[in-house]
Amino acid sequence: MIRPFLLAALALLAAPMTDASAQSPVVIKFSHVVARDTPKGKAADKFKELAEAATKGKVKIEIYPNSTLYKDKEELEALQLGAVQILAPSMAKFGPLGLKEFELFDLPYLFSDRASLERVTQGQIGRDLFKKLEAKGISGLAYWDNGFKVMASNRPMHLPTDMKGLKLRIQASKVLDEQMRAISANPQVMAFSEVYQALQTGVVDGVENVPSNLYTQKMHEVQKHLTVTNHGYIGYAVIVNKKFWDALPADIRAQLEGAMKQATDYANKIAQQENEAALESIRKSGKTAVYMPTDAEKAEWRKALLPVHKTVEDRIGKELVAAAVKAVAGK
Ligand code: LMR
């Protein structure tokens, strides 16, 4: 069966090609899967505001948050077909496209802090990863930050051994799959839009995510325990359909790139405070008990998860993993 969004995309492709400069305004659809009130949601709205102002009515940005247009996997297909022009998927979602290298960002405990992360995204590694997108008809515009992940379930989780047997939702990344297996949990790939209900009905027992995603999807209302493991990272690659982007009049493209640069600064500035505020709101809700592991417990989590680097290095690329470890260390 052909899915409705594919039909819509095909209809679009069948329509005669029009010169973007002759169209007024150029409409750009920007689809994402999280709530408006998250670092990504706010940055997307900021980009709309800045881009429309900079192009003085020549461009209209339509934002579709919360999977209202497409879910995780569909949105990448839709981008390649040209049914949507901009996305900001988490780096954990590029594996199914054949771009396994992006799963680098899923390695547990790779980044020591945000500065070490920037050395990877803003340096040669970030640029090389964007080059890999081109063969898929995609261009990379920017990296947007979110934050570090926590674990949530209905059971207290002080040590990695407490995760044994739990069915945990993950994004579609083999590195995350290996990570959950390393703590004897049972990983289940699932689209972000389906997680709340899966937690509520017991289809899965728990989840890893950043506090801003847990809070804005109300996942904390259907989970009793949360542990601030900070064991991994979620961030985004802002990507466009390359053919569409390259066909834009040069002046408009430059204005949009300027707006993207400002929106990126904004995204990366608010990410940490948004996640801290979300964690505080979860704590205050009283619905989920928030646990901060002791130093000894943190060491146990690291010991259990760090071997994953070795298990998956062939998938991501040994050289890439080594280069990232070096960049993180500031060498
Ligand atoms: C997830 O699926 O958990 C995240 O990638 C959602 C997002 O875009 O932050």
Could you read off the pLDDT of 47-56 as tens digits, one per residue? 999 999 999 9
Expressed in angstroms and rounded, the spacing between residue 281 Cα and the centre of ligand 1 is 19
Q: What per-residue confidence (pLDDT) applies to 3?
A: 52
Mean pLDDT across 181-197:
98
Q: What per-residue confidence (pLDDT) applies to 313?
A: 97
> Taking 60 as the threshold, does the pLDDT of residue 7 lie above it?
no
Pairing of the two strands 186-189 and 167-170: parallel
Q: How far apart are CA 191 and CA 172, in angstroms?
A: 8
Q: How far apart are CA 172 and CA 189, in angstroms?
A: 5
> Taking 80 as the threshold, does the pLDDT of residue 14 lie above it?
no
- Could you tell which of 151, 234, 238 is best to mutate to test the pocket of ligand 1, judged by most ligand atoms within 8 Å of the CB? 234
> Taking 70 as the threshold, does the pLDDT of residue 74 lie above it?
yes
Closest Cα to atom 2 of ligand 1: 192
Closest CA to 58 of 240, 255, 244: 255
Per residue in 248-274, pLDDT (tens digit) is 999 999 999 999 999 999 999 999 999
Decide: 33 in ligand 1 pocket, CB within 6 A: yes
Q: What per-residue confidence (pLDDT) applies to 26?
A: 97
Residue with the two structure tokens 């050289």: 319
Spatial contact of 72 and 89, defined as CB atoms under 8 Å apart = yes
Other Cβ atoms less than 10 A from the Cβ of 122: the count is 13
- Averaged confidence pLDDT in the chain: 93
* 320 backbone dihedrals φ, ψ, rounded to 5°: -65, -45
Decide: 213 in ligand 1 pocket, CB within 6 A: yes
Q: What per-residue confidence (pLDDT) applies to 1?
A: 39
pTM of the model: 0.93
Encode burial over 76-99: b for 16+ CB neighbours within 10 A, e otherwise.
bbbbbbbbbbbbbbbbbbbbebeb
Mean pLDDT across 190-212:
98
Q: What per-residue confidence (pLDDT) applies to 314?
A: 97
Mean pLDDT is lowest, of 22-31, 69-78, 204-213, for: 22-31
Q: For the chain, percent helix, then strand, then coil, each to nearest 5?
A: 55, 15, 30
Pairing of the two strands 150-153 and 225-227: antiparallel
Decide: 171 in ligand 1 pocket, CB within 6 A: yes
Q: How far apart are CA 318 and CA 314, in angstroms?
A: 6
- Could you tell which of 31, 33, 216 is best to mutate to test the pocket of ligand 1, judged by most ligand atoms within 8 Å of the CB? 33
> Taking 60 as the threshold, does the pLDDT of residue 62 lie above it?
yes
Expressed in angstroms and rounded, the spacing between residue 186 Cα and the centre of ligand 1 is 19
Closest Cα to atom 1 of ligand 1: 192
Q: What per-residue confidence (pLDDT) applies to 93?
A: 97
Query: How far is C-alpha 331 from the geometric centre of its chain's CA atoms?
Result: 27
Decide: 31 in ligand 1 pocket, CB within 6 A: no
